[in-house]
Amino acid sequence: MTGEPESTVVDERTGRRMIILAVVVTVAAFLGASWAALSRLHEIRRDSRVIAASALPSIQSLSAARRKLGHIGVMISQLDRVPLVPGALAELRVVTSGLAVDVNAYFAVPTYAGEREDWWAVLACIEELRTVLGDLDASSPVTPSPATQARLAAAVDRADATLLASMDRNADQIEALTAHIESTRASAVRRAVVFNAVGVVLAGLLLAMALRSLRRQIAAERRAQQLLEARATELEAFAGRVAHDLVAPLTPTFLWLERLRASSDPTTRNAAERALRGVGRATELVDALFTFARAPREAHPAASSDLDHVAREVLGNFEELAITSQASLELVSPGPVPLEVHPGIVSSVLGNLVQNAIRYLGDAPVRRVTVRLQQTSGRARVEVADTGPGIATALQERIFDPYFRAAGRDQPLGLGLGLATARRLVEAHGGTIGVWSLGAGATFWFELPLASGQRA
Ligand SMILES: Nc1ncnc2c1ncn2[C@@H]1O[C@H](COP(=O)(O)OP(=O)(O)OP(=O)(O)O)[C@@H](O)[C@H]1O
Ligand SMILES: [Mg+2]
């Protein structure tokens, strides 16, 4: 495959865009709802301030002023019966002046239309009281004339009525502000709910769309994967057929070359030797290809083998190669280890590992390959450790891929199929395979399930 299918890329892009949009919409809805609440909160705060800073104190002040006015009123109402002694007149004048100071202070900051007029009206009444009281003789007890008493009483009544009206207006204002606060609160809640609801619906829609395109993307990827697997299977079948078809002509070629090797002419003999080596190499490659293509993907039921026995056989097979490579082979085994796996499979896996271990020793001064067999909790473990140059960490996973070979100029010839075949065989039988190598030396290992009777 050269790249991802166009539709998959588009779906992924659309899905990602939808998710981003959904997040943006959710944040916008949240901000909108917050804005709606905050802007209304500002109005509510302004109204509450008017109530707390102006209307309520006004009512309290006005009622205090009315109490003073009531005091003056009571004194004036008794004038027809009780003559006004100089001390009482002085008290009356002082209270009236105090009332003027209070009223001036209360009305200093008028908060609504009409309050200033009230102020002027009350001050006019107080001025009238002060004028009348100022005209009275303060040296001896005095009984003001009925006309004077009437003027005083009228001034007190007018002032009281004005203060009362002013209190009523403040109370009305508080009522209106309270109603406004309530309606503002309700409208803030409504706006926030609308913002949130629109946000939730839009975000939900976008997420659903995102989910749809992501699902389509997953389906497309699955289809591509299946296609890939089908192609790989086809390729393997093809490789198997090619390998099979190549083996057929190689056999007679081999026989003819064997005959030529017996020739009395040294040049012919030499050429036959070289050709035979080439044919031998070709046969090896074809064999590896064939083995990989035919390596089963599933375990064969009802097969059994003894790991210890197979390991001894495999090491026996590699004795000659070990001698040629000046390497020693060693087996550490606990004795028989029964497996439910065909001996051919175990032999193929272990053979690949041992062959590699000897093959890739390079020019290591210590040349040893150790095969260790272990039996642990339901599984058999095999380790093949060598004293060669080891394998770089970055390559340790890749060497199990088909046709992968570590690039080394003086690396012996091979197809890069040995480890891929071993992995396929081990995994088909419910096992695992791997390698660890830190600096010098590599240890390849694989584990296979023990025969059912041994798993206790
Ligand atoms: N014991 C080892 N020490 C160092 N490198 C190794 C060892 N075993 C494998 N390798 C590296 O892993 C690569 C893949 O090994 P694999 O057995 O799959 O293929 P191959 O030996 O190259 O060819 P084939 O086994 O098909 O003949 C090798 O080419 C080699 O570079
Ligand atoms: Mg190999």
Q: From CA 297, how far away is CA 117, in angstroms rounded?
A: 104
413 Cα: distance to centroid of ligand 2 (angstroms): 9
Residue 87's alpha-carbon distances to 130, 222, 305, in angstroms, are 16, 109, 133
Looking at all shown ligands, the one closest to residue 357's CA atom is 1
Looking at all shown ligands, the one closest to residue 358's CA atom is 1
> What pLDDT sits at residue 321?
95
Which helix H or strand E contains 271, and what residues bound it? helix 266-294
> What pLDDT sits at residue 289?
67
Mutate to test the pocket of ligand 1, among 285, 348, 356 (most ligand atoms within 8 A of CB): 356
Domain boundaries, the chain: 6-211, 298-454
> Cα 14 to the chain's mean position, in Å?
19
Please state the rounded mean pLDDT for residues 223-248. 76
- Is residue 3 scored above 60 in pLDDT? no
**Contact assessment for residue 430 and residue 297, using Cβ atoms and an 8 Å cutoff:** no
- Is residue 407 scored above 70 in pLDDT? no
Q: From the CB of 240, is ligand 1 less than 6 Å away?
A: no
**Contact assessment for residue 420 and residue 433, using Cβ atoms and an 8 Å cutoff:** no
For residue 383, which phi and psi values (nearest 5 degrees)?
Answer: -120, 135
Which helix H or strand E contains 1, and what residues bound it? none
Task: Identify the CA nearest to 435 among candidates 330, 367, 357.
Answer: 357
Q: From the CB of 392, is ligand 1 less than 6 Å away?
A: no
pLDDT band at 320 (very low <50, low <70, confident <90, very high): very high
Structure-block tokens of residue 327: 């390497």
Out of 163-167, 321-325, 383-387, pick the least confident.
163-167
> What pLDDT sits at residue 111?
67
- What is the β-pairing status of strands 368-376 and 379-386? antiparallel
Of ligand 1's atoms, which has the minimum distance to the CA of residue 417? 26
Residues 6 or more apart whose CB falls under 8 angstroms from that of 258 comprise 272, 276
Q: From CA 259, how far away is CA 292, in angstroms rounded?
A: 32
412 Cα: distance to centroid of ligand 1 (angstroms): 9
DSSP, collapsed to helix, strand or coil, labels residue 322 as helix
For residue 83, which phi and psi values (nearest 5 degrees)?
Answer: -65, 150
339 Cα: distance to centroid of ligand 2 (angstroms): 24
Average pLDDT for the chain = 85
Residue 11's alpha-carbon distances to 6, 20, 70, 204, in angstroms, are 9, 14, 86, 18
Condensed to tens digits (0 to 9), the pLDDT of residues 290-318 reads 777 666 666 666 678 999 999 999 999 99
- Is residue 168 scored above 90 in pLDDT? no
pLDDT band at 409 (very low <50, low <70, confident <90, very high): low
> What pLDDT sits at residue 316?
96
pLDDT band at 442 (very low <50, low <70, confident <90, very high): very high
Q: What percentage of the chain reaches a pLDDT higher than 90?
A: 32
CA-proximal residue: ligand 1, atom 13 (nearest): 405
359 Cα: distance to centroid of ligand 1 (angstroms): 8
Out of 5-9, 43-47, 176-180, pick the least confident.
5-9
- Any idea which architecture 6-211 has in CATH? Up-down Bundle (1.20)
417 Cα: distance to centroid of ligand 2 (angstroms): 7
Q: What percentage of the chain reaches a pLDDT higher than 70?
A: 91
352 Cα: distance to centroid of ligand 1 (angstroms): 9
Out of 157-166, 342-351, 361-370, 399-408, pick the least confident.
399-408
CA-proximal residue: ligand 1, atom 29 (nearest): 405
Q: From CA 215, how far away is CA 208, in angstroms rounded?
A: 10
Q: From the CB of 358, is ligand 1 less than 6 Å away?
A: no
Query: How big is the CA angle at 332 (ends 330 and 334), to the nearest 5 degrees?
Result: 155
35 Cα: distance to centroid of ligand 2 (angstroms): 70
**Residue 385's beta-bridge partner residues?**
370, 443
Residues 6 or more apart whose CB falls under 8 angstroms from that of 14 comprise 209, 210, 213
- Is residue 234 scored above 50 in pLDDT? yes
- Is residue 445 scored above 90 in pLDDT? yes
Of ligand 1's atoms, which has the minimum distance to the CA of residue 284? 27
DSSP 390: -
Q: Kindly tell me the sign of the dihedral angle through the C-alpha atoms of 352, 354, 355, 359.
A: positive
**Contact assessment for residue 329 and residue 317, using Cβ atoms and an 8 Å cutoff:** no
pLDDT band at 5 (very low <50, low <70, confident <90, very high): low
Residue that wins the pLDDT comparison between 167 and 301:
167
Give the chain's count of helices (H) and strands (E).
Answer: 10, 7
pLDDT band at 1 (very low <50, low <70, confident <90, very high): very low
Q: Kindly tell me the sign of the dihedral angle through the C-alpha atoms of 337, 340, 344, 345.
A: negative
> What pLDDT sits at residue 298?
62
> What pLDDT sits at residue 338?
95
Condensed to tens digits (0 to 9), the pLDDT of residues 68-107 reads 889 889 888 888 888 888 888 888 888 898 888 888 877 7
Q: Top-level CATH class of 298-454?
A: alpha beta
For every residue of 180-222, DSSP letters joined together read HHHHHHHHHHHHHHHHHHHHHHHHHHHHHHHHHHHHHHHHHHH
Please state the rounded mean pLDDT for residues 119-148. 88
**Contact assessment for residue 162 and residue 118, using Cβ atoms and an 8 Å cutoff:** yes
Query: How big is the CA angle at 153 (ends 147 and 158), to the nearest 5 degrees?
Result: 125
Q: From the CB of 388, is ligand 1 less than 6 Å away?
A: yes
> What pLDDT sits at residue 212?
86
pLDDT band at 2 (very low <50, low <70, confident <90, very high): very low
> What pLDDT sits at residue 107?
76
User: Does 6-211 match 298-454 in CATH topology?
Assistant: no
Mutate to test the pocket of ligand 1, among 289, 291, 318, 360 (most ligand atoms within 8 A of CB): 360
Mutate to test the pocket of ligand 1, among 405, 415, 423, 437 (most ligand atoms within 8 A of CB): 405
**Contact assessment for residue 103 and residue 126, using Cβ atoms and an 8 Å cutoff:** yes
